[in-house]
Amino acid sequence: MRRPSTRRAPPAASRIRPDASGLMGILAQPLVGAGAALVLFLGSAVGLIALLGDPAAGYPEVRATIAGPPPQGWRAAVNAGRAAGPELALPDYRLTRSPEPPPLSTATDALAAPGAFTGGALPPAPISGVSRKTAEGILPVIGPGGLTPAKAYARPFKASGRPRVAIVIGGLGLDPELTRQAIESLPPQVTLAFSPYAPNLQDWINRARERGHEILLEVPMEPEDYPENDPGPYTLRARAQPAETVRKLEWILGRTTGYFGITNRMGERFVKSPEGMSALNGALRSRGLAFVDTGIAAGSGGGDFRVSGDQVLDRILSPAAIDEALLTVEAAALQKGQGLGITQAYPLTLRQVASWASQIESRGYQLAPASALARIR
Residue 368 has pLDDT above 90, yes or no: yes
**The domain that contains 205 carries what CATH number?**
3.20.20.370
Residue 53 belongs to some domain of the structure: no
Residue 67 placed within a domain: no
Q: Where are the beta strands (DSSP E) in 30-88?
A: none
Q: How far is CA 350 from CA 18, 172, 327, in A?
A: 73, 12, 16
Q: Residues 204-237: pLDDT tens digits?
A: 999 999 999 999 999 999 999 999 999 999 999 9
Q: Check pLDDT > 70 for residue 140.
A: yes
Q: Rounded to whole angstroms, how far apart are CA atoms 148 and 312?
A: 28
In a domain, 159, yes or no: yes
190 has pLDDT over 80:
yes
Does the pLDDT at position 111 exceed 60? no
Please say if the pLDDT value at position 314 is more than 90: yes
In this model, does residue 363 exceed pLDDT 60? yes
99 domain residue, yes or no: no
C-alpha distances (whole Å) from 284 to each of 14, 258, 278 are: 84, 15, 10
With respect to residue 115, please indicate whether it lies within any of the assigned structural domains: no
Query: Which domain does 252 fall in, by range?
Result: 134-376
Instruction: Give SS3 for 158.
Output: coil
Say yes or no to pLDDT of 144 above 80: yes
State what percent of residues in the chain have pLDDT above 70. Answer: 67
Q: Which helix (H) or strand (E) holds 220?
A: strand 215-221
- Residue 288's nearest CA partner among 139, 141, 137 is 141
User: So what's the pLDDT on residue 169?
Assistant: 98
Q: Is residue 61 part of a domain?
A: no
Lowest-confidence segment of 1-5, 272-276, 345-349 by average pLDDT:
1-5
In contact, 305 and 371? CB cutoff 8 Å: yes
Give the pLDDT score at 120: 86
Residue 168: what residue type? Answer: V
CB 163 within 8 A of CB 279: no
- Examine residue 161 and state whether it is found in any structural domain, yes or no: yes
Phi, psi of 113 (to 5 degrees): -70, 160
- Count of domains forming the chain: 1
Q: Percent of the chain, pLDDT > 90?
A: 64
CA–CA distances in Å: residue 162 to residues 90, 159, 336, 355, 367: 40, 8, 11, 20, 9
pTM for this predicted structure: 0.72
pLDDT at 246 exceeding the cut of 70:
yes
- Is residue 48 included in any domain, yes or no? no
Distance CA 185, CA 356 (A): 12
Residue-wise pLDDT for 15-24, tens only, equals 444 454 554 5
Which of the residue ranges 23-27, 151-155, 190-194, 304-308 would you say has the lowest mean pLDDT? 23-27
Q: What is the pLDDT of residues 70-103, one digit of tens each?
A: 555 545 554 544 443 333 333 333 333 334 444 4
Burial 268-289 (b: 16+ CB within 10 A, else e): bbbbebeebbebbbebbbebbb
